[in-house]
Every structure is written in structure tokens, then in C-alpha cells.
Amino acid sequence: MTGRLAALASIAAEREDVVLSRGVALSVRALSAEDIATLLGKHAADIAVPLRSIRAEPVASVLALLEIAPRAIAHVIALASDEPDQVEAARRLPFGAVLQLLGAIDRLTFGQSGDRRPFAEILGPLIGPHLPSLH
């Protein structure tokens, strides 16, 4: 064993305070499995529709994805800040702040290495059959 043994209830999610503009900070945490399930349940179907037609209508598909992305990104930020009812507030954040917050959420969720392979290896077989082939 390499770490100190702890009770599950005593483990708090690691947080990072992201300083935005004028010294105002927003505290975010890693996305949990429940958060990922919430995001997939809310946004996967919307994202799958334009992906299905990306070969036939690439411009329309990309435009549809660009319309969907801000909602999904705002939802990620709202969940990671433990304010799931503040998606609309997250949608109004300046783009630079969004990038800072997503960077912190990514580091907390996937670790400093940013290795998403284990995540993809687990979720890929579960959601892959429900997404269109892009090949």
C-alpha cells in the first residue's frame, strides 16, 4: 500500500480556487461518476444527432455542435462548482474564464497527467454503440 488508509466518508473532493477577473475566485472540484452520468444523460442525445449527419452535412453538423457545446460546457462548470442550478450563470462567463475553469476541472478530474485512456476504455464500450461511426 502506498497511501494512508482512510474511511470513504472522510475523503473530501479536492478543490481548486480559480481566480477569474478582479480577484474573484470560483472553487471547482473534479467531476464525479454521477456528474458524468448526468452530463451524458442530458447532452449525449443532442450531440449524437449532428454527429450522425456530419458526413452528409458537415457545415450544418458543425454549426449544430457549436450551438450545443456552450450548454454542455456550462453544465460541466455548474456541476464542478456544486451549483447545478446555475447553468445559465455559467453560460454568461467570459470565454477566458471558461477556459481557466475547464483547465482546473480537467486537472482535478483526470489528474496532472491528463491521461483519459482509462476513462475512454471504460466508457467507450458503454456509449460507443449509441454514437454514429465517423469513419
**Domain boundaries of the chain, sorted by first residue:** 8-130
Does residue 4 register a pLDDT over 60? yes
| pLDDT for position 61 | 83
Per the DSSP assignment, residues forming a β-bridge with 16 are 28
Average pLDDT rounded to a whole number, residues 63-76: 92
Angle at 99 between CA 90 and CA 34, to 5 degrees: 60
Helix (H) or strand (E) holding 25: strand 25-29
pLDDT of the residue at 56: 84
Write out the three cell numbers for 90: 455559467
Q: Is residue 134's pLDDT more than 50?
A: no
- Residue 9 has phi, psi (to 5 degrees) of -65, -20
User: What distance in Å separates the CA atoms of residue 126 and residue 118, rounded to the nearest whole number?
Assistant: 13
Tens of pLDDT, residue by residue over 7-50, are: 888 877 889 999 998 889 999 999 998 998 899 889 988 888 88
Task: For residue range 84-96, list pLDDT tens digits in order.
Answer: 999 999 999 999 9
Indicate the pLDDT class of residue 135, thresholds 50, 70 and 90.
very low
